[in-house]
Amino acid sequence: MNFRQRLLLARLGSAALKAGLHHQIDSQKLETARAEFCLKMLKRIWGGGNPGRGKRLRQQLENLGTTYTKLGQFLSTRGDLLPADILIELSFLQDRVTPIPGLDATLEIERSLGQPLDENFRSIDRQPLATASIAQIYKAQLLDGTEVILKLVRPNVVEKIRREMNDLREITEYLCERHPLAARLKLSQIVHDQESIMLRETDMFRESQNQINLRANFPNSNLLKVPRVYTKFTRSNLIVMDHANGIPIGDIEALRERGVDFKILAEKGVKTFFKQVFEDNFFHADMHAGNILVDIADPKDPKYIALDCAIMGSLTDYDRRYLAQNILAFFKRDYRRIAELHLDSGWIPSQTDVAAFSKVIEELCDPIYQRPLGEISFANFLTDLFRAANAFSIEIQPQLVLLQKTLLYVEGLGRQLYPQLNLWETALPFMTTWAERNLGPAAVVGDFFKLAEEFFSDPFKFGDFIRQNQQERIKASVQARELSDLKRATKRIIIKQRRMMFCALLIIIIAITILKI
């Protein structure tokens, strides 16, 4: 380990001590007597018990930088992992980070727009309405009086993220070389992915386009609203959008006082999630409470308002279909099918004992089947899941990480809003309809028509289309690292290829027949 890595570790260690995290570890649970003794001594020397622990942790995360503030935002949604006092403090990181001292926002905005402000705005508040990890938010009025929000990226945030992530990457690489678990959890890869995700968050052109696309997927929706963007003001560090009137979803008390129907709200959350992932294949992947408001114009029929569309996810058709099949098998308690699907898709090594694997899945999933959210211990579930992942050498699928994170957010929110929520009852009708359309005979016919459309639109490019389609499948199966997995994947591709060639032949015959007529 080099000097810089040691320095960062020392900084992290000192921040942990200042936050008093060592007081949260039960010394009796440590494996060696020496570790137990050291922890006891540390607790005696370094004070800082329970009072104020949430505030200390929040301050330390903020001091460590943007990356750690983001981590705090994520943790603030895990009501099942952390006690309430820490959660409340960490939730401040969602929209009440300390503002940059001395920042003259109006000057920055004017510089970005390249025009005097009074040409476009009647007024701009000097005090930020909210300050989050990446941006500061200001209320303003357009010349016609429309209330808008200006989202201004914090200056120098890109350099800060690069520096922090670089340090973290060096440490995780060191860990991955030495600890098999760190390697299997792909810590280095996660840090690398996280860096590109955070850098994407600083690009307001991308965020603006995402917001426009998400809004287009929910026109006049009774589930989700997305504020309109004024694209003529979009710059790399600035977005101007409609001010959304709503109550932050984290403010459960305010929602309760207004008589909001929590059951409807939680159910709409699940539907919104499934629609985005399966129907639109474009999902908001940063669903923490700071990014969601609730429109309570009709409290008995509340709607979500999505903010902060910086991180959006999508899956390949291949992953989406496998995922849907897994979910459906889970709903039917067909654990053997889940095991086979994992094998088939290359998510587990091909030599895995399917019977033993399906038994473990059963042990994992059966206790949570049909249970309302509030009765499921997600902490236990995750611990068991990691244990199983370790025992069966399941590797993390990088392309699914965003979805898993979103799932954790949605689950955490649902738990807070309406613990009685029955996920299965809410999701099953949606998944069944989707599967009928996308996995059943209708899907095969759909594929056929897609091929036909390609052929008739440009017969000379038909070969390219088929090749491209194959490459997508090959890309997906390259996840299967081992030779035997690769063989299995190749066999699958050949079968699919034959099927496609057969369809293509059929289309050509039809085309020739039509032309003759």
Ligand X SMILES: Nc1ncnc2c1ncn2[C@@H]1O[C@H](COP(=O)(O)OP(=O)(O)O)[C@@H](O)[C@H]1O
Residue 249 engages ligand X in binding (rule: CB under 6 A): no
227, interface contact from ligand X, Mg ion, none, CB < 5-8 Å by kind: ligand X
Residue 137 engages ligand X in binding (rule: CB under 6 A): yes
- The two structure tokens encoding residue 515: 């032309």
Residue nearest to ligand X (CB): 132
* Options 95, 167, 286, 308, the catalytic residue: 286
Instruction: Return the DSSP state at 24.
Output: G
The binder of ligand X chosen from 157, 191, 241, 423 (CB under 6 A): 241
Q: Are 293 and 249 in contact (CB under 8 A)?
A: yes
Closer residue to ligand X (CB): 410 or 423:
410
Residue 211 engages ligand X in binding (rule: CB under 6 A): no
198, interface contact from Mg ion, ligand X, none, CB < 5-8 Å by kind: none
Alpha-carbon distance 123 to 319, whole Å? Answer: 48
Residue 287 engages ligand X in binding (rule: CB under 6 A): no
Alpha-carbon distance 476 to 282, whole Å? Answer: 19
Total residues binding ligand X (CB under 6 A):
20
Q: Are 296 and 246 in contact (CB under 8 A)?
A: yes
Half-sphere exposure of 68 (CA within 13 A, CB side): 18
The binder of ligand X chosen from 19, 39, 82, 135 (CB under 6 A): 135
Closer residue to Mg ion (CB): 200 or 492:
200
Residues 6+ apart with CB under 8 A from 490: 477
**Contacts with ligand X, 113-132, as mask; x by CB under 6 A:** ----------------xx-x
Q: How far is the CB of 244 from ligand X (least distance, A)?
A: 4
Q: How far is the CB of 203 from ligand X (least distance, A)?
A: 11
Buried b (16+ CB within 10 A) or exposed e, 191-207: bbebbebbeebbbbebb
241, interface contact from ligand X, Mg ion, none, CB < 5-8 Å by kind: ligand X
Distances 168 to 67, 145, 155, 174 between C-alpha atoms, Å: 10, 46, 22, 10
Judged by CB under 6 A, the stretch of 4-12, 263-271, 304-312, 389-397 that binds ligand X is 304-312
- The two structure tokens encoding residue 421: 């929520």
Alpha-carbon distance 132 to 70, whole Å? Answer: 9
Residue 244 engages ligand X in binding (rule: CB under 6 A): yes
Q: Where are the alpha helices (H) located in 20-153, listed in sequence order?
A: 33-45, 53-64, 66-75, 84-95, 105-113
Q: According to CB under 5 A, which residues from 115 to 154 bind Mg ion?
A: 132
Backbone angles phi, psi at 480, to 5 degrees: -75, 105
Instruction: Return the DSSP state at 231.
Output: G
286 in active site = yes
134, interface contact from ligand X, Mg ion, none, CB < 5-8 Å by kind: ligand X
Determine how many CB atoms are found less than 10 A away from the CB of residue 303: 21
- Cα torsion angle, 253, 254, 257, 261, sign: negative
Q: Identify the bridge partners of residue 131 per DSSP, sorted by sequence position.
A: 96, 136
Q: According to CB under 5 A, which residues from 382 to 421 bind Mg ion?
A: none
Q: Are 153 and 134 in contact (CB under 8 A)?
A: yes
**Contacts with ligand X, 407-436, as mask; x by CB under 6 A:** ------------------------------
Residue 313 engages ligand X in binding (rule: CB under 6 A): no
Residue 360 engages ligand X in binding (rule: CB under 6 A): no
Residue 227 engages ligand X in binding (rule: CB under 6 A): yes
Residue 243 engages ligand X in binding (rule: CB under 6 A): yes
- Cα Rg of the chain, angstroms: 26
Residue nearest to Mg ion (CB): 308
Query: Which parts of this chain interact with Mg ion (CB under 5 A)?
Result: 132, 290-291, 308
Q: Interface residues with ligand X (CB under 6 A)?
A: 94-95, 129-130, 132-135, 137, 149, 151, 227, 241, 243-244, 290-291, 307-308, 310
Q: Could you list the active site residues? A: 286
